[in-house]
């Protein structure tokens, strides 16, 4: 006891007390939980693409450790509020809605602060998660697409939904009409249908999905239907010329039926009849095609030079023995006797068209291109838009034309063949020699010659030539190269393209008043050449790129042309004097016209993205401002009336430049906008 009372006991106990204190500190540091629980909110059934939730989803709150469940359940809420049950799976709180969630609804899941773990550590931050439920299932795509024609009879069908579907119910709700037994396979949301047998020819099939079709959540698909038509078993008509119900057709027009395959010539006797009755000749031809070098025999008015690119003997043509009656409606009947070379038959056809009246002169008329008859041809109309009638009657696109100064004759190119005829369609002559290809015809000032761009039988560039229209004068080469390339038959519709200006095959040539100088925008490369028509001086190649027909201004004694000096980066209109001097006048986008009084109209690119017309009192003056301004339409090809009081122009869609908006007129002050024709392009008001 004395030892206990002595200081030695106290001194011995002190180290032990220190060790005990250290042990307590270490225990608290390593064994006592002071970290609040963490958690993650998840959906049990997200839609496969992860952006939406299925309507039968549950919400899982996964905690990092065991928590006091009452604190977690009281912290959980969902907005909009829905009834449901809460239960636990280990450390996961699961909220299961009592009913399917509503479609296309945004929900917010909220976990408030205060969730405690078993040690009493409390989460002091809240957390939210939002999700959106899916809408009704939809069909994303179907192959063949809706209303597809000429579908192969051995086709398969694919239907792609926007999510996984109940495969059994989807098939139970699927029908094909007419009935076509099939085998079905699934790849995720895509249903593939393979008919057990080939489908029927020339048959329209309808695919229907009815009320039974639901997704994996049981949500119904709205009734869906799509149709397609199988290819015909026989010979199918591709186009009719003149087109059905067109008025103003040339009295010299042939009647043509273009098929999708070669015709047996022995099956065409008496195949076409006209009412009122018309005598004529029926034959099988191949449409002219200048996409490749010619291998044909000498061209004829009804069958110009052909090429290997043709599908071959696929056009049935009826050529009347004489002109049709003016202002007369004809009914064309084609019998079903026409056969393909393999023996399959064509269906019968019947349609009507109405002729116009041959013009006696084109003076003070508006001339333009239109494909309303089935293919682009030259048409004329009065200045007020009345009496629209067809001038040329080709079965391939007329790619370029010019009318003589007295309005009595027209020269035009179609399929690489240049022809000249009276404006009434009489006295037709082919100017292009056998085997050659020629384009962009333009009359010289006195009408004694036509300027053309030429390619030889191999397609080699032969430049530009002067072809006499009177006897006693030989053809003469003016430029060694620059002729338009082959392929004018590819022009479609009204021949509008996505590029500003005029196509390469269009006439892009102008003459000085005395005929001694010619400015040409080359079709081959859009370069611009100044040509001395007397032959004294060599042609001068200007450092410009053009896109439209140039204009001669007699008041200033100079040419004007829309061109670019930087290879198309910017466009302006330039003045070019007969000695080759060039100067920039102002910004332009394509299309230029000069009136008899020297005033100017041309197209400019506007801030709204469209090309609009501006007017200037002379070529030397700045424009007075826009005279057209509708941003949905762009304008081009302006041309003045003979007295300069009106401007005719073509319109096309600003965002669909190959869609014609018709032919219009307007005053130089922007007043009097009037629609003359609902289609057509490249109008010109003739003197």
pLDDT surpasses 80 at 421: yes
Q: How confident is the model at residue 56 (pLDDT cuts 50, 70, 90)?
A: confident
Determine the average pLDDT of the residues in 535-552: 94
Residues 10 and 47 in one domain: no
Between CA 131 and CA 105 the distance in angstroms is 8
Residues 25 and 146 in one domain: no
**Quick one: which H or E segment has residue 16?**
helix 7-31
Write the CA distances from 142 to 9, 77, 182, 212, integer angstroms.
96, 42, 16, 19
Q: 110-137: per-residue pLDDT in tens?
A: 999 999 999 999 999 999 999 988 888 9
Residues 570 and 613 in one domain: yes
Q: Which of helix, strand or coil describes residue 267? A: helix
Mean pLDDT, rounded, of the chain: 89
- The last residue of one of the domains, among 105, 132, 159, is 132
- The last residue of one of the domains, among 230, 257, 284, is 230
pLDDT surpasses 90 at 254: yes
Count the domains in the chain: 4
- pLDDT value at position 233? 64
Percentage of residues of the chain with pLDDT beyond 90: 72
Which residue segment(s) compose the domain that 578 sits in? Answer: 496-687
The reply to whether 202 falls in a domain is yes
pLDDT surpasses 90 at 54: no
Determine the average pLDDT of the residues in 268-294: 92
Write the CA distances from 20 to 4, 14, 31, 235, 593, integer angstroms.
20, 10, 16, 106, 108
Determine the average pLDDT of the residues in 153-171: 91
Residues 51 and 196 in one domain: no
- CATH at residue 511: 2.120.10.30
The reply to whether 608 falls in a domain is yes
Q: 163-180: per-residue pLDDT in tens?
A: 899 999 999 999 999 999
pLDDT surpasses 70 at 209: yes
Q: 375-386: per-residue pLDDT in tens?
A: 999 999 999 999
pLDDT surpasses 60 at 29: no
Residues 508 and 609 in one domain: yes
Nearest to 669 by CA among 595, 615, 606, 623: 615
Residues 672 and 536 in one domain: yes
More confident call, 342 vs 559: 559
Answering whether pTM is above 0.75, one says no
The reply to whether 503 falls in a domain is yes
Return the minimum-mean-pLDDT range out of 307-316, 325-334, 532-541.
307-316
- pLDDT value at position 231? 67
Contact 539, 548 (CB under 8 A): no
Percentage of residues of the chain with pLDDT beyond 70: 91
**341 burial class (0-12, 13-18, 19+ CB within 10 angstroms)?**
middle
Between CA 211 and CA 6 the distance in angstroms is 100
Which of 1-5, 298-302, 515-519 ranks highest by mean pLDDT?
515-519
- CATH at residue 120: 2.60.40.1220
Determine the average pLDDT of the residues in 239-248: 97
The reply to whether 10 falls in a domain is yes
Residues 6+ apart with CB under 8 A from 70: none
Determine the average pLDDT of the residues in 667-675: 96
pLDDT surpasses 90 at 614: yes
Residues 612 and 646 in one domain: yes
SS3 per residue for 135-163: CCCCEEEEECCCCEEEECCCCCEEEEECC
pLDDT surpasses 80 at 659: yes
The reply to whether 126 falls in a domain is yes
Residues 22 and 62 in one domain: no
Residues 6+ apart with CB under 8 A from 64: 37, 38, 39, 91
Structure tokens at 202: 């020339």
The reply to whether 578 falls in a domain is yes
- The last residue of one of the domains, among 91, 110, 132, is 132
- pLDDT value at position 284? 95
């Amino acid at each position: 006891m004395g030892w206990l009372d002595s200081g030695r006991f106290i001194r011995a106990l002190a180290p032990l007390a220190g060790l005990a204190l250290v042990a307590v500190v270490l225990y608290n540091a390593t064994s006592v939980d002071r970290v609040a629980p963490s958690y993650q909110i998840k959906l049990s059934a997200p839609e496969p693409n992860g952006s939406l939730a299925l309507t039968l989803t549950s919400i899982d709150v996964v905690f990092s450790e065991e928590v006091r469940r009452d604190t977690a359940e009281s912290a959980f809420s969902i907005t909009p509020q829905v009834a449901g049950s809460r239960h636990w799976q280990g450390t996961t709180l699961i909220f299961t809605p009592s009913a399917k969630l509503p479609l296309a609804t945004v929900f917010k899941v909220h976990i408030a602060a205060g969730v405690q773990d078993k040690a009493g550590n409390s989460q002091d931050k809240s957390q939210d998660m939002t999700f959106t439920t899916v809408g009704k299932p939809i069909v994303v795509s179907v192959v063949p697409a809706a209303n597809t024609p000429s579908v192969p009879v051995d086709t398969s069908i694919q239907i792609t939904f926007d999510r996984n579907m109940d495969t059994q119910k989807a098939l139970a709700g699927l029908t094909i009409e007419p009935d076509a037994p099939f085998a079905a396979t699934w790849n995720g949301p895509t249903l593939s249908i393979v008919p057990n047998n080939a489908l029927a020819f020339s048959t329209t099939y309808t695919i229907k999905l009815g009320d039974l079709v639901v997704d994996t959540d049981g949500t119904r698909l709205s009734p869906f239907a799509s149709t397609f038509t199988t290819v015909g078993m026989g010979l199918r008509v591709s186009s009719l010329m003149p087109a059905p119900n067109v008025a103003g057709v040339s009295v010299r027009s042939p009647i043509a039926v273009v098929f999708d395959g070669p015709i047996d010539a022995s099956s065409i006797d008496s195949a076409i009849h006209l009412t009122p009755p018309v005598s004529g000749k029926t034959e099988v031809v191949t449409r002219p095609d200048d996409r490749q070098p010619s291998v044909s025999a000498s061209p004829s008015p009804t069958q110009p030079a052909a090429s290997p690119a043709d599908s071959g003997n696929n056009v049935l043509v009826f050529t009347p023995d004489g002109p049709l009656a003016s202002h007369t409606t004809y009914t064309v009947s084609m019998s079903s006797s026409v056969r393909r070379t393999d023996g399959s038959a064509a269906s019968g056809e019947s349609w009507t068209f109405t002729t116009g009246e041959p013009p006696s002169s084109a003076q003070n008329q508006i001339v333009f291109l239109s494909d309303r008859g089935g293919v682009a041809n030259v048409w004329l109309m009065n200045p007020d838009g009345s009496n629209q009638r067809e001038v040329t009657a080709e079965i391939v696109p007329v790619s370029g034309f010019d009318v003589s100064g007295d309005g009595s004759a027209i020269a035009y190119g179609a399929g690489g063949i240049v022809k000249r005829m009276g404006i009434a369609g009489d006295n037709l002559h082919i100017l292009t020699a056998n085997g050659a290809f020629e384009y962009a015809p333009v009359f010289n000032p006195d009408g004694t010659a036509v300027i053309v761009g030429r390619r030889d039988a191999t397609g080699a560039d032969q430049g530009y030539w002067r072809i006499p229209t009177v006897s006693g004068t030989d053809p003469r080469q003016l430029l060694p190269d620059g002729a338009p390339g082959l392929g004018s038959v590819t022009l479609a519709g009204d021949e509008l393209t996505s590029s500003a200006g005029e196509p390469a095959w269009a006439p892009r040539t102008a003459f000085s008043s005395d005929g001694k100088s010619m400015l040409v925008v080359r079709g081959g490369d859009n370069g611009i050449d100044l040509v001395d028509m007397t032959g004294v001086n060599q042609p001068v190649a200007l450092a410009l790129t053009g896109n439209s027909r140039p204009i001669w201004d007699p008041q200033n004694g100079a040419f004007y042309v829309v061109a670019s000096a930087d290879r198309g980066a910017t466009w302006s209109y330039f003045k070019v004097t007969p000695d080759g001097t060039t100067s920039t006048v102002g910004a332009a986008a394509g299309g230029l016209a000069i009136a008899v009084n020297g005033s100017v109209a041309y197209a400019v690119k506007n801030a709204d993205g469209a090309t609009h017309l501006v007017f200037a009192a002379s070529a030397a003056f700045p424009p007075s401002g826009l005279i057209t301004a509708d941003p949905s339409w762009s304008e081009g090809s302006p041309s003045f009336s003979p007295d300069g009081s009106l401007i005719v122009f073509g319109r096309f869609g600003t965002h669909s430049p190959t869609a014609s908006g018709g032919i219009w007129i307007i005053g130089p002050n922007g007043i009097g906008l009037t629609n003359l024709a609902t289609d057509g392009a490249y109008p010109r008001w003739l003197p």
